[in-house]
A = this chain, B = another copy of it.
Amino acid sequence: MYYPEPMGMLIAELRRLPGIGPRTAQRLAFHILDLPQEEANRLVAAIVEAREKVSHCSICGNLATEDPCTLCNNPRRDQSLICVVQDPRDVVAMERTHEYKGLYHVLGGVISPMEGIGPNELRVKELITRLQDGSVKEIVLATDLNAEGEVTATYLARLIKPLGIKTTRLAHGLPVGGDLEYADQVTLAKALEGRREL
């Protein structure tokens, strides 16, 4: 009410972003208003281009500009190993360990009855399809090590084991209840090394 309307609109839009409170929104709005034109253009272009060019790989579900993505398309990756994760941030966390050489499968979430998310809301069917030709020998279930992540891993293990595929889970080197995304590289690498069969 004390700001010119377009300024108020900008603050309101920024406040809709996650973790941005009124003070931060105001600070960001002032900063954006004061940016040199070139930098403002770059910010806007980055938003527009990321949305236009980035979509999901039809095989693994990871973020990608190509389809299939560069990970799925890389012949040097171990095609017999698939790591199942909740979302693309977890792929980044796994890649940072430099220990994992297989493929990925991004579920797009975890089973959560509270939020009405069941297997049908996740990319479970797509995962099972990938296992049909017999080339995959092991599935690493790398969902978060909290209740929902464990439920999802257990559900998937029951689905996959009958197909005769080895099903492993990241070791509890990670802090229990922790988010995969926030794990440090060494701990995550250790957890991968100590993975156990379900």
Is residue A63 within 8 Å, beta carbon to beta carbon, of the partner chain? Answer: yes
Q: Kindly report how many copies of this chain are found in the complex they form together.
A: 2
Q: Is the CB of B29 within 8 A of A40?
A: no
* Residue A53 CB within 8 A of the other chain: yes
User: Does the CB pair B53–A10 fall under 8 Å?
Assistant: no
A6 CB within 8 Å of chain B: yes
Chain B nearest Cβ from A11, distance in angstroms: 9
Q: Which of B10, B39, B48, B54 contacts A46 (CB 8 A)?
A: B10
Stretch at the interface among A78-86, A89-97, A122-130, A160-168: A89-97
B50 & A7 in contact (Cβ 8 Å cutoff): yes
Residues of chain B with a CB closer than 8 A to A63's CB: 3-4, 7, 33
Asked whether A4 lies within 8 Å of B91 as measured between CB atoms, the reply is: no
Surface stretch bound by B, among A19-27, A143-151, A170-178:
A19-27
Which residues of chain B are near A114, meaning CB under 8 Å? none
User: Which residues on A are within 8 Å of B, measured CB to CB?
Assistant: 2-7, 9-10, 12-14, 16-20, 24, 26-33, 35, 37, 39-40, 42-44, 46-54, 63-65, 87-89, 91-92, 95-96
Name 9 A/B residue pairs within 8 A (Cβ), A-sorted. Answer: A3-B88, A4-B65, A9-B46, A10-B46, A17-B28, A17-B31, A18-B27, A30-B88, A35-B51
